[in-house]
Amino acid sequence: MERTCETGGVAARIEELKKRHGGDLVILGHHYQSDDVIRHVDIVGDSLELARRIPEIEARNIVFCGVYFMAESACLLARPGQKVFLPDHEADCAMARMARAEDVERVLERLAASGRKVVPLAYVNSSLAVKAVVGRFGGAVCTSSNAKVMLEWALGQGEAVLFLPDRNLGRNTARTLGIAAGEQALLDLAGDNLDSEEVRRARLILWPGCCPIHDRLMKPEMVDAFHSHFPGCRVLVHPECTPEVVDRCDGAGSTAYLIKEVEKAAAEGKESTLCIGTEFHLVHRLMEKFAGRLNVIPLAQASCADMEKVTAERLLATLEGLEEGRGEVLVDEALKAPARDSLVRMLENCR
């Protein structure tokens, strides 16, 4: 009872502060946030949807409930005078940490020295510094929602594409475009295979990064077990899963795709059970929302520890210190223009 009262008190105080700030405040939240946070969010979405919505926001203060690279992107797209806040600056992204800006720049310079035009395409799960490098080399950002469109665009800009940092999204997207495995090469940063024949002839060069949740916690045998236990029922996963997992599934797509498929199945009433392979907070929310109409089952109990760092208590602390700048995200001015270029190229090609 004590915990319930404490949580209720935090929630009430957050709502009180939201009313006090009125139109000067908008709270954004990614689908992977916990229910205790999502209940206070004004705009919920995946990375693409939230990026699209930021330019239309007029509020002076934007509080982003997500991880650090998302708040950085919000800073790039915000209007002059707007401030972006993140309730916990330790909410990072394991995948984003797998690609350091200095390494990306070194690789692109080496590839350019070979005489080929290699266009970088960075998954949005990357730091602002990496996005700036990508922007300077004429590349763009993509999300899981538009990876196919943006990879097609990047292939049309040069002779090859460096896709980073998620090798799984790169491989799964390449397959939708008919890019054969023989036309792809995985970088070996430790072994330095940049001058290898495999890399020189590849149309798609893949950075060796991944999402630990989708890559390591979701296995092909889990898909097989679900299909065996629920004959005829579909398994749908996020394309950050390995190609081996995607091969066994009935569909793969972005967070928005997964949500729409669940909503469609519940509305049509033709399926009794659906298995979803992505971050657990979202799957749990879908389970509760459609209980009684559709049995939604998680492929794995996989939650993002970084997303969980943003709590209702930390959101409250940010709102209480808003005027003092508590939790404000500040980005390097020298990186803003090229990093913004990489984001704008995505938005312009995906209108």
Half-sphere exposure of 336 (CA within 13 A, CB side): 13
Predicted pLDDT of residue 1: 36
Residue with tokens 């679900």: 226
Give a yes or no: residue 86 inside a domain: yes
Q: Do residues 68 and 330 touch, judged by C-beta distance below 8 A? A: no
Share of the chain above pLDDT 70, in %: 98
Q: What is the pLDDT of residues 304-329, one digit of tens each?
A: 999 999 999 999 999 999 999 999 99
- Indicate whether 123 belongs to any domain: yes
129: pLDDT strictly greater than 90: yes
pLDDT at residue 206, rounded to an integer: 98
Does some domain include residue 342? Answer: no
In a domain, 344, yes or no: no
Domain boundary at 210, 236, 251, which? 210
pLDDT above 90 (res 8): no
Residue 177 lies in a domain: yes
Residue 58 has pLDDT above 50, yes or no: yes
Whether residue 114 is found in the same domain as residue 74: no
Same domain, 71 and 131: no
Are 159 and 233 found together in one domain? Answer: no
Single pTM value for the model: 0.92
> Do 266 and 317 sit in the same domain of this protein?
no
Q: Specify whether 152 is located in the same domain as 227.
A: no
Q: pLDDT value at position 48? A: 80
**Which range of residues forms the domain containing residue 137?**
96-210
Instruction: Judge if the upstream peptide bond of residue 165 is cis by omega within 30 degrees of 0.
Output: yes
Pair 88, 103 in one domain: no
How many other CB atoms sit within 10 Å of the CB of residue 1? 5
Number of domains in the chain: 3
Residue 53's pLDDT is: 92
Asked whether residue 83 is assigned to any structural domain, the reply reads yes
210-246 pLDDT, tens digit each: 999 999 889 999 999 999 999 999 999 999 999 999 9
Is the same domain home to 21 and 85? yes
242 lies in the same domain as 192:
no
Q: Is residue 243 part of a domain?
A: yes
In a domain, 154, yes or no: yes
Is the confidence at residue 5, as pLDDT, over 60? no
Sequence letter at residue 228: S
The values of phi and psi at residue 96, to 5°, are -60, -35
Instruction: Please check whether residues 141 and 193 belong to one and the same domain.
Output: yes
Instruction: Provide the β-strand partners of residue 29.
Output: 44, 65
Indicate whether 141 and 246 sit together in one domain.
no
Candidates 96, 38, 43; CA nearest to 74 is: 43
What integer best gives the mean pLDDT of the chain?
94
CATH code (residue 194): 3.40.50.10800
* Residue 165 near residue 207, CB atoms below 8 Å: yes
pLDDT (tens digit, 9 = 90+) per residue, 146-183? 999 999 999 999 999 999 999 999 999 999 999 999 99
Quick one: 87 and 101 in the same domain? no
Q: What is the pLDDT of residues 240-263, one digit of tens each?
A: 999 999 999 999 999 999 999 999
Q: In the prediction, which pLDDT does 6 show?
A: 53
Looking at 166, 185, 210, the residue that finishes a domain is 210
pLDDT score of 7: 57
Write down the pLDDT at residue 276.
97
Same structural domain for residues 249 and 197?
no
Q: In the predicted model, what is the mean pLDDT of residues 28-37?
A: 95
Domain final residue, candidates 179, 210, 241 = 210
Cα atoms in the 13 Å half-sphere on the side-chain side of 194: 19
